Amino acid sequence: MAYPTQPTASHYINGAYVEDQTGDEIPVIYPATGDRIGLVHAGTPAIVDQAIAAAKAAQPAWAALSPRERGRILTRAAQIMRERNYDLSVLETHDTGKPLQETLVADATSGADALEYFGGLAGTLTGEHIPLGEDWAYTIREALGVCVGIGAWNYPTQIACWKGAPALACGNTMVFKPSETTPLCALKVAEILTEAGAPPGVFNVVQGMGQTGAQLVTDPRVAKVSLTGSAATGKKVYAAAAAEMKHVTMELGGKSPMIVFEDADIENAIGGAILGNFYSSGQICSNGTRVFVHRAIKEHFLTRLAERLATARIGDPMDEKTSFGPMVSQAQMNIVLRYIDIAKTEGARLVAGGQRIDRDGFYIEPTVFADVTDDMTIAREEIFGPVMSVLDFEDEDEVIARANATEYGLSAGVFTRDLSRGHRVIGGLQAGSCFINSYNDAPVEAPFGGVKASGVGRENARAAIEHYSQLKSVYVRMGDVEAPF
């Protein structure tokens, strides 16, 4: 293979790579060329069983370590990830096709941020003392047990760390299933955790398709499931977990609004719209794909947007000057091209892009449609590709109502110089992760997650701790027990 730090087998179980060639073949395709650069095998039921058994066996001793010791291991893993950032970024680029310019700053680095943050937090996780007069109660924050993490393909390193770091900090163990489209990066996270001192079985990786995920979710030894994926998959996984009353975190899709008022700094608003539609070739759940632009500035906005898009460097993701790469797969490219056709048929005005790029790999031009109306398919459905819809508006109340008229509620952004209006509008928007005069920042210190069909639970920040631990409360009577008879 043409990249370093190649994982040496399909799965990672009990502190070591494991191969089982009887599982279905999953080819690893480099999106920039379409070439096959590797092969892994899906986890058979025996492999899934082995991984859950390893996680189950390792959990009590891991939970019994002092939280600071667990934290130290996570922090050490963060340091290793930072030291190997270049190689891990090259691997991420080969797994996903995202330009090295992005992966060097957004993937292993944000994974390391999560390991460092939750590593630091581990020693601070406590219960509380509750005075009740003469008596008192206290709470103990306990681990849930074995957690399953299931990832999407857009941020394979980050997703593994966003789930693994808080789970492990709280004393849980994890079995992680990456997307079949990007199977490589999570294996390196597992390898690094072992190197940092995580005992065997604490963090395991099993490859596979949805079927493997379903087997993990329904296993009675699993206490919690955290999924990053589409809303359709989320509904299935949530229902399967609910059947056995398991805890869940659901990080799902979106059709998020970005609202640009007439007083906005227009270059910053265009910068936000570019980040929120074309970073990672538009394959980001929180993207602001419905850009509502005030009618007074719409044409200026579109002209400058097209000028700035013309400066995108589209090409080889391994060239650090490249700022826009391919879609993750042929299948995803075809989905996006279909949406572009539908938009044209339904009468949206093509302002930029709109074509597959004539070269190897799965490239689509950064695409902008204007005069999009709320009822058009591209304004209602998540596309998950580089397609921006620009919609007009005139009135604040009107735009809030239209922005909220979606089943989703992951993110929302507002660009305005009027700070009262900025806060007022964000207050009225139904979304979990919001931005004022910015877009798509996701620091580990701030909670991340959606409302409505975009999910339940939160990742990152202290909020994630609530989703990877449970409270035991203990009443302590200091005097005699008064019974009626």
Q: Which residues are catalytic?
A: 251
Other C-beta atoms closer than 10 Å to the C-beta of 436 total 16
d(CA 17, CA 204): 9
4 to each of 1, 93, 107, 128, 347, how far by Cα in Å?
8, 11, 16, 47, 47
State in angstroms the smallest separation of the CB of 338 from ligand NAP. 15
- Is the CB of residue 35 less than 8 Å from the CB of residue 29? yes
Residue nearest to ligand NAP (CB): 213
Question: For strand 387-393 and strand 290-294, is the pairing parallel, antiparallel, or unpaired?
Answer: parallel
How distant is the alpha carbon of residue 332 from its chain centre?
A: 17
Smallest separation, CB 424 to ligand NAP (Å):
26
Rounded to whole angstroms, the Cα distance separating 465 from 70 reads 14
Residue for token digits 């227009």? 266
317: which DSSP letter? T
CB-wise, 317 or 409, nearer to ligand NAP? 409
Compare residues 127 and 447 and give the one whose CB is closer to ligand NAP. 447
- Strand, helix or coil for residue 175: strand
Residue 195 CB, shortest distance to ligand NAP, in Å, is: 25
Single-letter amino acid code for the residue at 363 = Y
CB nearer ligand NAP, residue 229 or residue 257: 229
Q: Please, what's the b/e burial string for 438-466 (b: 16 or more CB within 10 A of its CB; e: otherwise)?
A: ebbebebeebbbbebbbbbbbbbbeebbb
Minimum Å gap between C-beta 61 and ligand NAP is 28
Residue closer to ligand NAP, measured from CB, 251 or 316: 251
Q: Where are the alpha helices (DSSP H) in 279-433?
A: 298-309, 330-345, 377-380, 396-404, 419-428
Closest C-alpha to 1, from 155, 184, 191, 153:
184
The pair of structure tokens assigned to 222 is 């699993």
Query: Closest approach of Cβ 467 to ligand NAP, in Å?
Result: 13
Count of alpha carbons within 13 Å of 304, Cβ hemisphere only?
A: 14
- Which of residues 15 and 253 has its CB atom nearest to ligand NAP in the complex? 253
* Least gap, CB of 237 to ligand NAP (angstroms): 5
Name the H helices within 171-293. Answer: 185-196, 210-218, 231-242, 266-278
Task: Indicate the helix (H) or strand (E) that contains 222.
Answer: strand 222-228
Binding site for ligand NAP (CB under 6 A): 150-154, 177, 179-180, 209-210, 213-214, 217, 227-230, 233, 236-237, 251-254, 285, 382, 384, 410, 450, 455
Work out how close the CB of 212 gets to ligand NAP at its nearest, in angstroms, rounded to a whole number: 8
Nearer to ligand NAP, 230 or 330 (CB): 230
Nearer to ligand NAP among residue 55 and residue 370 (C-beta): 55
